[in-house]
Amino acid sequence: MQRREFLQGVAGVCALGAIADGSAEGSEKMARVKWQIGCFNRPWGAWSYDVALEQMREAGFHTAGILGDHKGETFLDPEATPEYLDALKKRIESRGLKATMGRLRIQHNTPIDEAIQKVHQQIDNARHVGLKYVMALGTSNPAEYDHFYKVMQEASSYAAKKKVELIFKPHGGCSADSDDILRCLEKVNHPNFRLWYDAGNIIHYTGKDPAKEAERVAKYVSGFCAKDCAQLHGDVMLQFGTGKVDFVGVFHVLKEAGFKGPVMIECCAGKTVEEVTANAIANRVFLENLFATL
């Protein structure tokens, strides 16, 4: 079987599982999916970025996020040249993908003016590529928390002028659980500083219940990084539904708070390109089937 046929077969089997009875109700549920589902490049981090782009297209995605590392890629880093950024945008668009989000790299052990200048450059680079969001991951060093808050406060204003939304997500340290997240929002205190929820990271970094934690922060959520996790400090490169994330409970909470997406798949299992791509398809269909019931 050709590789493309194999991947299409996986997608077909997964989709048929959701409406196995062939009923009109099942078809109607599938049609009710409204939240945008995209994918990050992280699952294919062991290969080149071009391979990741090809596989996102193979897996049926149209929205891509830059959250992951690949050898030889600077992405939004301050040293990225205009020529590189032009080529990056073309590489993404040539696969029929629309890039929507990129990661910021912030050095919290440098003078604050220098850190701010480098964040500004990365926001400019994101604007160059046409991204809507840039994500900061915070810091795990308590001595750097205030540095993070100050950089984010200034960067939120700068990003707003560039029509880019500055976002962060649960990632341990200063953004580990709902208390930490609310403290970040209070300290930064800017309408252009929003949260992308990550239920898998809540379990990975704190061991707490992501659905209960979501209840306190749902109104600040403008996006979702989708991953599963089975235990505190556990593996996150999993298939959805195999860990302890209560996806139904989490998304019910977010929906009640008015969440509209996007949802970006960050992780899946697999050791070969083919396995990862097939599992990315399965995770996408998992979300589609779940959203059809909400």
Note the pTM of the prediction, 2 decimals.
0.89
In a domain? residue 9: no
Q: What is the mean pLDDT of residues 133-156?
A: 97
> Which percentage of the chain shows pLDDT scores above 90?
87
In a domain? residue 14: no
- What's 218's DSSP letter? G
Kindly compute the dihedral angle of the four CA atoms of residues 274, 279, 284, 289, in this order, to the nearest 10 degrees: 130
Q: Is the pLDDT of residue 278 over 50?
A: yes
In a domain? residue 229: yes
Angle 34-25-211 (CA atoms, 0-180°, nearest 5)? 50
Three-state secondary structure call for residue 264: strand
Angle between helices 210-217 and 199-206 (to 10 degrees): 110
Q: What is the pLDDT of residue 169?
A: 98
In a domain? residue 16: no
Q: Is the pLDDT of residue 190 over 70?
A: yes
In a domain? residue 3: no
Q: Are 104 and 164 in contact (CB under 8 A)?
A: no
Can you list the positions of beta strands (E) in the chain? 37-40, 63-66, 98-103, 133-136, 165-168, 193-197, 221-226, 263-265
Q: What's the pLDDT tens digit per position in 204-250?
A: 999 999 999 999 999 999 999 999 999 999 999 999 999 999 999 99
Q: Is the pLDDT of residue 50 over 60?
A: yes
The residue range of the domain holding 47 is 40-291
Q: How far apart are CA 7 and CA 9, in angstroms?
A: 5
Three-state secondary structure call for residue 41: coil
In a domain? residue 10: no
CATH number for the domain that contains residue 119 = 3.20.20.150
Q: Is the pLDDT of residue 14 over 80?
A: no
Q: How far apart are CA 261 and CA 254, in angstroms?
A: 9
Tokens of 230: 């089975």
In a domain? residue 56: yes
Q: Which of 280, 286, 206, 205 is nearest to 251 (CA)?
A: 286
Q: What is the mean pLDDT of residues 184-209?
A: 98
Q: What is the mean pLDDT of residues 91-113?
A: 96
Quote the number of domains for the chain. 1
In a domain? residue 34: no
Q: What is the pLDDT of residue 13?
A: 44
Residue corresponding to tokens 């604050």: 112
Q: What is the pLDDT of residue 32?
A: 61
